[in-house]
Structure 1
Amino acid sequence: MTITVTGLTKRYGATTAVHDISLRIAPGRVTGFLGPNGSGKSTTIRMILGLDRPTAGSALVNGKPYAELKNPLRTVGALLDARAVHPGRSARNHLRAMARSNGIPERRVGEVLETVGLRDVARKRAGGFSLGMSQRLGIAEALLGDPEVLIFDEPVNGLDPDGVRWIRQLMRALAAEGRTVFVSSHLMSEMQQTADHLVVIGKGRIIRDAPIAEVIAGSSTTAIRVRTPDAEALRHQLAAATIAVSHTGPDELTVTGAQIERIGDIAYEAGVRLHELSRRDASLEEAYLELTAPSVEYAAPAPGESR
């Protein structure tokens, strides 16, 4: 099943939270949804789930608005606010009520409690849960209907390192089964290990919609490290070929904007000896910060800096 967003726009008075975005969230992969605070991520997710009405455009799941889905929990599972549970209700009873409302067999309650690691506290009141336990219960809600589409908003919030690894493996496994997995997060290191494809949004507009490898490779911080006893001679040759190059040590150069093979060819043709020629890929965090820098609305000075 595919999530299709077309010309989606949401205005609140004079403020446009989401501006004419179009997306196709495909099955069989984990799609990460990234953006600064206030970029429109949560508003977009809420419109996909029918919780907010678009000012213009549409958001469809398998060709239908969420509100028109029969027994929607069997089609779409979502985690938005893990604390949105009656505090006096046990985890088991909370899930039982949800199951009954969507015609889901009660056996699924025990299955998902086992999956998320809450079987032993199933009769405990949700109001006494830690943030991490509440997060696991929210994930159990999303899995309850065995849906083909899963939407997670900050799923690792409150989880310990073991829990973070668990949710990463879970999302990868769900995508491997052919499900559509759409996840919003601010944790770049985790997204780099989890997502196959990224949608980056800023000020309500799409900045980038591409496979994660392309997003990282497109960063200007991706560079080639060259070590050679003939650094100045090679620097001259690279500069003559209009390749950006700088000295970063007595026998070391840093090159950007060129393929590693081309650098090697230029060195060979110039008769320059190489002691090292290696690629330094940008991290997702570096690529993300570069992409979103113009879209950050609430920026503070770095420690030690003044405005």
Structure 2
Amino acid sequence: MITLRGLTKRFGTATAVDGLTLDIRPGQVTGFLGPNGAGKSTTMRMVLGLDRPTAGQALVNGRSYRQLRHPLYEVGALLDATGIHPTRSARAHLVAMARSNGIPARRVDEVLDLVGLDGRAAGKPGRALSLGMGQRLGIAGALLGDPPVLLLDEPVNGLDPDGVRWIRRFTRDLADEGRTVLVSSHLMSEMEQTADRVVVLGRGRLIADAPLAELLAGRPSGTVRVRGPEPAGLTALRDRLTAEGATVDLDGTGLSVAGATAARVGDLVYELGVRVHELTPVAASLEEAFLELTADSVEYAAGPTGGEPR
């Protein structure tokens, strides 16, 4: 379990993490989300003793990282997949990590097999590893001590689709074993398929901490997409839906309807005699929830597409 109490980190006049209090519990995958600069990486670094908190505590199973005698047996982490000496082989890198924590050498081969790095890949020097191989090696390092707590920062970066699916299943299996699994990612679609619980930061502060299902249940019920070949019919449908209080975007070939059920849209299509080729309910997504939650917390935002530059 990871316990954060009033965790704060300032760099000069800038506050990276601001009074963060939460528990990351075992037996579930917790998605750690936030815009760039939200404080996710700084929080992970404080949990791992790499940054000293300005105030508050970050504990792993009730103790600070600095109090752990053999930390790899307690917590494993992937923060930077490129953190390997360019001339040292992947296997030698893991052997050095194992020796530093009194881990038997046989465990190196076990974790290499777990993450799918064969003998040829394990013999490559760090500079010859692809980003995907580096990610797998970083995860192997995190698993060396068979720890009950795991922190993974953007673990799917550089992985091909098969690797992404493997990470998804692997983190799920680790949580099902009763481990604490904290995964930071910017890929909302991936988190929606992986996380049991979601923690969202914005400007260093806690915005949300809830089960994924509860977070999505609290959002609007989604939209209805309508596509058809008759612009006049779509316009009439839009006007009728708007009159009933729905929010409708018309792009020429279709409608996006919020605030009306697919059944009601279908009834109006029939009533108005509008010919349609598609009528699809689109469920609320984690991406939509995330964008709504963090709208006031982004460091910068892109302007509207098209038009004259400003």
TM bucket normalised to smaller? 0.7 to 0.9
CA deviation map 1:25-59 (0-9, x unaligned): 00000000001111111111101111101111101
The separation in 1 between residues aligned to 2:217 and 2:94, in whole angstroms, is 43
CA contact (8 A) 1:132 1:159 kept: yes
The separation in 2 between residues aligned to 1:289 and 1:7, in whole angstroms, is 25
* Displacement after TM superposition at 1:291 (Å): 1.2
One-letter amino acid of the structure 2 residue matched with residue 160 of structure 1: D
Output aligned runs, 1:119-138, within 5 Å: 119-120=118-119, 121-138=121-138
What secondary structure is seen at the aligned counterpart in 1 of 2:86? coil
Output aligned runs, 1:261-300, within 5 Å: 280-300=282-302
The separation in 2 between residues aligned to 1:161 and 1:101, in whole angstroms, is 34
CA contact (8 A) 1:10 1:16 kept: yes
The separation in 2 between residues aligned to 1:278 and 1:107, in whole angstroms, is 54
CA deviation map 1:93-129 (0-9, x unaligned): 1111111111111111000011111122222212211
Counterpart of 1:195 in structure 2 is 195
CA contact (8 A) 1:196 1:211 kept: yes
Task: State the percentage of identical aligned residues.
Answer: 62
The separation in 1 between residues aligned to 2:102 and 2:34, in whole angstroms, is 36
Counterpart of 2:246 in structure 1 is 245
- What do you get for the CA RMSD once the two structures are aligned? 3.2
CA contact (8 A) 1:153 1:183 kept: yes
CA contact (8 A) 1:221 1:286 kept: no
One-letter amino acid of the structure 2 residue matched with residue 156 of structure 1: V
CA contact (8 A) 1:79 1:139 kept: yes
What secondary structure is seen at the aligned counterpart in 2 of 1:286? helix
Counterpart of 1:4 in structure 2 is 3
* Displacement after TM superposition at 1:246 (Å): 4.6
Runs of 5+ unmatched residues, structure 2: 227-236, 272-278
CA deviation map 1:203-241 (0-9, x unaligned): 111111111122223234624789xxxx89x979x96xx
The separation in 2 between residues aligned to 1:162 and 1:177, in whole angstroms, is 23
Runs of 5+ unmatched residues, structure 1: none
Counterpart of 1:169 in structure 2 is 169
1:303 to 290, 299, 305: 305
Instruction: Number of aligned residue pairs: give it.
Output: 292
The separation in 1 between residues aligned to 2:82 and 2:210, in whole angstroms, is 32
TM-score, normalised to structure 1's length? 0.84
What secondary structure is seen at the aligned counterpart in 1 of 2:246? strand
Counterpart of 1:96 in structure 2 is 95
Distance 1:21 1:287, change over 3 A: same
Counterpart of 1:154 in structure 2 is 154
Counterpart of 1:178 in structure 2 is 178
Counterpart of 1:51 in structure 2 is 50
What secondary structure is seen at the aligned counterpart in 2 of 1:133? helix
The separation in 1 between residues aligned to 2:66 and 2:304, in whole angstroms, is 45
* Displacement after TM superposition at 1:282 (Å): 1.4
What secondary structure is seen at the aligned counterpart in 2 of 1:27? coil
Distance 1:255 1:155, change over 3 A: closer
TM-score, normalised to structure 2's length? 0.83
Counterpart of 2:105 in structure 1 is 106
CA contact (8 A) 1:35 1:292 kept: yes
Output aligned runs, 1:13-52, within 5 Å: 13-52=12-51
What secondary structure is seen at the aligned counterpart in 2 of 1:288? helix
One-letter amino acid of the structure 2 residue matched with residue 53 of structure 1: R
One-letter amino acid of the structure 2 residue matched with residue 114 of structure 1: D
CA deviation map 1:174-214 (0-9, x unaligned): 00101000000011111111111000101111111111122
